[in-house]
Amino acid sequence: MTIALRVAWLLIAALPEAVSSSSASPVGPWLVWAVWTLVALAVLILHPLSLVVVRLLAPLSTLHMAVEVVGSRASWGLVTGLVLALGVSVASFAGRYGFAHAQAAAYGHERRHLLRPPIAVIAPIALVWIVVAILAALVIHGERLVVSLGASIPFAALLAFLLRRAHVLTRRWLVYVPAGIAVHDPLLLRDTFMVRGHDVRGLNQRDPMTEAFDATGTTWGTSLTLTLSHPHDVSLSPFGARLAGTLDRLHVTALLVAPSRPEAALADASNAAVNQPLGGDAAG
């Protein structure tokens, strides 16, 4: 998938009028090419920060191409570029693609699985992205130079803020290490939660009958229950404590986590060193 996305995005630059702007503003073409270049670097260099760039800027470029197509510039090159950009934008949100970026920054024998973002965090990020898109439209399509330049300053500032905030979401992982399992979540946890393999009783799909602390922040999809042999301390961040409506330090014997690819996470658990105490539970 990573190779396909690289080829698709780099091919856009070779298509006539795909990376261009019909605006008379001299700032427009520079911004269009700058966004394409940032995404090109991000698809070539796998890293959690690169994943944020692709997921936020590829849709921005796609939206621009769609506006250009609607604005009676529907050349074959532009339409083809729009199709490719749309495909890259959609595919970048696939769990498999996110795993490739998360794993690229792993150390040694780590296996990192991205965690799904809390629903409460998605809405604000989407709202800020819409504002960034509006500012980008003013920069590219502003009829007067003063409008384009004036919009470019808040655009750059708000985009930097958005990238920094969204980057936290790509640093939330369920991690398998030779010694056991860790939950690295700078959004909801104050400290990384780590447990040795011999203290893990099981990892399986969520069981409604099992009382477990919800460390997912409330999200969609399948959650996994990490069951421990005895209570362990969990330190929550101020945001995590507010979201969970509880204290910032808890003693838990079971923890809910929501990897973006739960089946792959279970498969990795069955092959990891922590599998000795997991036994059949790890296999689901």
The whole-angstrom separation of Cα 205 and Cα 185 is 20
Handedness of CA 257, 261, 267, 272 (dihedral sign): negative
pLDDT for residue 142 is more than 80: no
Both tokens of residue 44?
């070539």
Residues 6+ apart with CB under 8 A from 18: 12, 65, 77, 78, 80, 81, 82
What pLDDT digit, counting tens, does each position of 20-35 carry? 777 767 788 888 999 9
The pTM (predicted TM-score) of the whole model is 0.87
By CB neighbour count within 10 A (0-12 exposed, 13-18 middle, 19+ buried), where does 164 fall? exposed
pLDDT at 132: 95
DSSP designation for 259: B
Higher pLDDT, 66 or 275: 66
Residues 6+ apart with CB under 8 A from 120: 217, 218, 243
What pLDDT digit, counting tens, does each position of 81-111 carry? 999 999 999 999 999 999 999 999 888 888 9
3-state SS class at 45: coil
The whole-angstrom separation of Cα 142 and Cα 33 is 17
